[in-house]
Each structure stands twice: as C-alpha cells, then as structure tokens.
C-alpha cells in the first residue's frame, strides 16, 4: 500500500514487519525518530519484542550482541558519534558472526560538531566486517532492511549489516513509499534460524581468545563470507523483485551508461540529483551516465569493471574523505579499473551537509573532461 510518510517512520515500519525480537538503541540526531517509533510499537503491543533502554551506544550494540548470540533476531540504529562509540563492538559483532541489522542515518563526524549529512561515519567502518547497503531514496531504504536480514541471516554468510541512508535528506523527508503487509514480509523473510546460539544445556563460547596460530583463519573466513554475500544478495534481491516488483539483485545500478563517455560514480541520495543533471546534459548532447553503488561491502569490483569498461573517463563523487589520501570510493573504483585505459578522478564534496546542486554535477563533468580532479570540490577559498 502506497503511503506518504517520513523516511524514518517508513524504516521503523519495515523493521517492525521484520519481527525483531530484541531492539536496543540510544537516540541521536538524526536517527531518533526510528527508535522512537519502534519504542511506541513495542509499548502499544504492535511488535512483540524486548526493547532495551541503555545509557549509550556502546551498550546498545553490546546488548544486541548478547541477544543475537542467544538466538534472537536483533536490531539497532545510530549515526555519527554514536557509531564511533560502537567502534569496538562493531568489530566484535562481525568477528562473532552475529547477523545484527543496524540502520545508519548518515551524518558527519566531529570535530567540529555537525548534525548534517555526509557518509564519513559508516565509511570509517568499511573494514569492520559488516555488510554495507546504501539507499538512494526512502523506498530503497525501507526495502533494504528486509534484504539485509535475508542476506545476513543466511547460513553461508552470518555477518551483521549496515543499512545506510542520508540524514535529514532522507530520514526527515516525506516521500511516497510502498509499504508491505505483515503477510508479505513473512513470506519473504523466514524466522531467524541461528547456526549457533548460547545454550546452558549445550555450552559454547563466542569471541574467545585467538592465538597467532588461529587468528588469520578467522579473518579469512569473514572475507570469504563477504565475497559469498554477492551471490546471496543477487538471489535474495531477485526473489524480492519477483514478489514485490522491485529488483535488488544487482550490487550496482546503471543510468544512461550504455553509450556514455563520462561515467559518474556515487552512492546515496545524491544519485537522484545526478540523474536529473544527466537528463539535462543529455538534452545538450553530452554522453554522461551514472553508476550507482548500492552495496559497498562486499565491494562490487568485478561488476564495476564490467559496467564501465567502455567509458573514457570516470568521475567518482565521495561524501567522505580518507584524510591524507582521497575519498574511499575513488580508491576502490581505481583498483577495480586497474589495467583499463580509463581516466578516474575523485571529487570530495558535500561534507558536513553542504548542498550539491545540478550545476555542481555539470561542473564536475566539465572538470573531468579537462582531466582535472582528485580535489575537494566547492571549497570556499576565502576560508582557507
């Protein structure tokens, strides 16, 4: 059923339909509306779950680890400094192979303090072992939670997952969203069936001490699970499409790429602005296309190389910065395109919520055509 609703409320409803058994989260802007709504669902008996209130985000994810290890489907949500406080626990959750799902309402990291959007928070944990999904709009943000549970809980994967969507730009925006029914979701997402769980009658341990003779193999197994996730995402995304008409089987998505000479690579809500810009540039005769990254972990290197093999140049837009190097995405795209005669330039932009307009996209394409890039785009020169 189509509803016009706030992004955070749509995500909360999607999470409710996934029937989490334990929710633990700490409110932080701009994530708060999600956990407020879930708390109301539990209090009003619309969701049969244990809602654990905690003193901070580290405790919130720690509670989810305990609940997941005991065999419960779990959920949390956070952003920015809250995610930073979870840093240690994020690595533990992945290392213990616990399929916790967490919404990341992307927000800039301090200092200086900012409550506005960029993707520095989740990108900073790209090496933690969590699957990472990025939504372009609120429909995608809603649907990806179902997909994330389906993939993370698959017995061949057993890894936690971030579902990331842009703070305020999506979380506080009202859009039409096709909300599924409980019956629909129950057909798509089976009950959680953990491969291992804590049981007093059959004791096991999670996250034990590993000597050098064993540690490397644990990391190898996590890496292999990430790589297997590509096929599991494809299968689960295709099944979602067959049932509900929206196909998420591809880790990446192309827009006007077939004959493109310049390809823009981006992820998140900025992709909508880029599509509008491309429509205008195409009307002027420019052969420009978009490659949208929906899944950042596992990184779709082979898929990117295949989709961009014919273009002359690539402009990668990063709403993050690996300080002292470049944006995280452009480094990985360059690696994916190694050996191709394709110019790849990076543009760090939109940090701390700075607006990115259609004219900015057009200017970046022009810079790319001149071979100019690997820059902070839109710097106010009078401030530096």
CA 189 to chain CA centroid, Å, is: 19
Residue 120 tokens, joined:
């520095």
Per-residue pLDDT of the chain (384 residues; tens, 9 = 90+): 899 999 999 999 999 999 999 999 999 999 999 999 999 999 999 999 999 999 999 999 999 999 999 999 999 999 999 999 999 999 999 999 999 999 999 999 999 999 999 999 999 999 999 999 999 999 999 999 999 999 999 999 999 999 999 999 999 999 999 999 999 999 999 999 999 999 999 999 999 999 999 999 999 999 999 999 999 999 999 999 999 999 999 999 999 999 999 999 999 999 999 999 999 999 999 999 999 999 999 999 999 999 999 999 999 999 999 999 999 999 999 999 999 999 999 999 999 999 999 999 999 999 999 999 999 999 999 999
What are the Cα distances from residue 131, in Å, to 118, 138, 239? 19, 19, 19
CA distances from 330 to 265, 318, 346, 351 (A): 9, 7, 6, 16
**In the prediction, which pLDDT does 1 show?**
85
Domain end call among 220, 244, 268? 244
CATH number of residue 145's parent domain: 3.40.50.970
Q: Do residues 360 and 276 both lie within one domain? A: yes
Residue 104: phi and psi, rounded to 5, are -115, 110
Distance CA 100, CA 123 (A): 18
Contact 107, 116 (CB under 8 A): yes
Q: Give yes or no: residues 43 and 104 share one domain.
A: yes
Q: Do residues 51 and 126 both lie within one domain?
A: yes
Residue 261 and residue 295 in one domain = yes
Rounded to an integer, what distance in angstroms lies between the CA atom of residue 331 and that of residue 345?
10
Q: Domain total for the chain? A: 2
pLDDT at 45: 97
Torsions phi, psi of 344, nearest 5?
Answer: -120, 115
**Are residues 305 and 231 both part of a single domain?**
no
Spatial separation of the C-alpha atoms in residues 154 and 187, rounded to whole Å: 16
For the question of whether the overall pTM of this predicted structure is more than 0.95, the answer is yes
Same-domain check for residues 127 and 258: no
Q: Are 56 and 187 members of one domain?
A: yes
What's 332's domain CATH number?
3.40.50.920
Residue 231, pLDDT score: 98
Asked whether residue 149 falls in the same domain as residue 171, the answer is yes
- Displacement of CA 54 from its chain's centroid (Å): 25
- 20-38 in b/e form (b: 16+ CB < 10 A) is bbbbbbbbbbbbbbbbebb
- The reply to whether 258 and 219 lie within a common domain is no
Closest listed residue to residue 62, CA positions, set 24, 103, 21: 24
Cβ-based neighbour number of residue 310 at 10 Å: 14
Residues 360 and 314 in one domain: yes
Q: Looking at 191, 209, 244, which one is the last position of a domain? A: 244
Give the phi and the psi of residue 164 in degrees, each rounded to 5.
-105, 135
- Segments forming the whole domain that contains residue 317: 252-383
Asked if residue 63 and residue 198 are part of one domain, the reply reads yes
DSSP assignment of 139-187: HHHHHHHHHHHHHHTSTTT---EEEEEETTTTTT-EEEEEPPPHHHHHH
* 268 and 226 fall within a common domain: no
Domain boundary among 196, 224, 244: 244
């Amino acid at each position: 059923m189509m509803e016009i609703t706030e992004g955070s409320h749509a995500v909360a409803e999607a999470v409710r339909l996934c029937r989490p058994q334990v929710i633990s989260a700490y409110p932080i802007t701009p994530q708060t509306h999600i956990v407020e709504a879930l708390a109301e669902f539990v209090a009003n008996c619309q969701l049969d779950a244990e809602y654990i209130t905690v003193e901070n985000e580290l405790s919130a994810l720690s509670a989810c680890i305990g609940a997941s290890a005991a065999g419960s489907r779990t959920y949390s949500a956070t952003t920015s400094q809250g995610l930073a406080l979870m840093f240690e626990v994020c690595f533990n959750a992945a290392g213990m192979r616990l399929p916790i799902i967490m919404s990341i309402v992307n927000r800039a990291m301090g200092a200086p303090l900012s409550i506005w959007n960029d993707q520095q928070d989740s990108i900073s944990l790209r090496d933690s072992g969590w699957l990472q999904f990025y939504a372009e709009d609120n429909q995608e943000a809603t649907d990806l939670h179902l997909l994330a549970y389906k993939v993370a809980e698959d017995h061949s994967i057993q890894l936690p997952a971030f579902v990331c969507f842009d703070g305020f730009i999506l979380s506080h925006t009202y859009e039409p969203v096709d909300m599924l029914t409980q019956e629909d979701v129950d057909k798509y997402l089976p009950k959680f069936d953990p491969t291992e769980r804590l049981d007093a009658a059959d004791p096991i341990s999670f996250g034990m001490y590993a000597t050098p003779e064993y540690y490397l193999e644990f990391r190898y197994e996590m890496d292999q699970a990430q790589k297997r996730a590509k096929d599991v995402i494809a299968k689960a995304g295709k099944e979602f499409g067959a049932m509900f008409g929206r196909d998420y089987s591809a880790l990446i998505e192309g827009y006007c790429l077939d004959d493109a000479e310049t390809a823009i690579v981006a992820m998140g809500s900025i992709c909508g602005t880029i599509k509008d810009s491309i429509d205008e540039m195409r009307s002027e005769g420019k052969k420009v296309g978009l490659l949208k990254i929906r899944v950042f972990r596992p990184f779709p290197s082979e898929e990117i190389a295949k989709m961009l093999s014919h273009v002359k140049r690539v402009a990668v837009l990063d709403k993050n910065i690996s300080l002292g190097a470049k944006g995280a995405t452009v480094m990985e795209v360059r690696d994916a395109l190694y050996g191709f005669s394709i110019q790849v330039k990076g543009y760090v932009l939109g940090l701390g919520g700075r607006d990115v307009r259609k004219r900015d996209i057009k200017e970046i394409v022009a810079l790319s055509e001149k071979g100019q890039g690997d820059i902070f785009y839109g710097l106010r020169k009078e401030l530096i």
